[in-house]
Amino acid sequence: MNCGDDIRVRHVVALMEEHRAAPLSVEQLAQAVNLSPSQLTRLFREQTGSSPARFARELRLQYAYELVQTSFLSIKQVMAAAGWNDPSHFCRDFKRRFGVSPQGLRRRHRPVDIAVEPAGAA
């Protein structure tokens, strides 16, 4: 995702990534770069083509997608790690974005379970 050239926008994106599990409000993000929420929203939209809230949701959905595909976390744990509190909203947003539910994606891309032989079994 393109985060633009402005250092303030790049800083806000870094904050969004750092606080995925407990997303910051637009007001908090704006305060972090010494802008009003409306100034941040205007600048952010100019630089990224998206509002801060939409951009943050997309980052969190991408993170959830990666976790579903590559981790052994439960869907509930993925949901919490990506900053969702409501399972129905999470599943709805996930399916809308990726065309498949988190459970459906997990079934298609279950992480590979590596068999480990006990020591001395060879």
Check if the beta carbon of residue 40 is closer than 8 Å to that of residue 12. Answer: yes
| Domain annotation for the chain: domains and CATH numbers | 7-108 (1.10.10.60)
Check if the beta carbon of residue 16 is closer than 8 Å to that of residue 9. Answer: no
User: Which H helix or E strand runs over 61?
Assistant: helix 52-70
Widest distance between CA atoms in the chain: 66
Distance separating alpha carbons of residues 9 and 58, to the nearest angstrom: 16
Check if the beta carbon of residue 71 is closer than 8 Å to that of residue 78. Answer: yes
Output the pTM of the full model: 0.81
Residue 67's nearest CA partner among 110, 8, 118, 116 is 110
Check if the beta carbon of residue 44 is closer than 8 Å to that of residue 53. Answer: no
Residues 68-120: tens digit of each pLDDT:
999 999 999 999 999 999 999 999 999 999 999 999 999 887 655 554 555 56
Residues 19-64: tens digit of each pLDDT:
999 999 999 999 999 999 999 999 999 999 999 999 999 999 999 9
Q: Would you state the pLDDT for residue 118?
A: 58
Q: Would you state the pLDDT for residue 51?
A: 95
Distance separating alpha carbons of residues 14 and 68, to the nearest angstrom: 22
Q: Would you state the pLDDT for residue 113?
A: 53
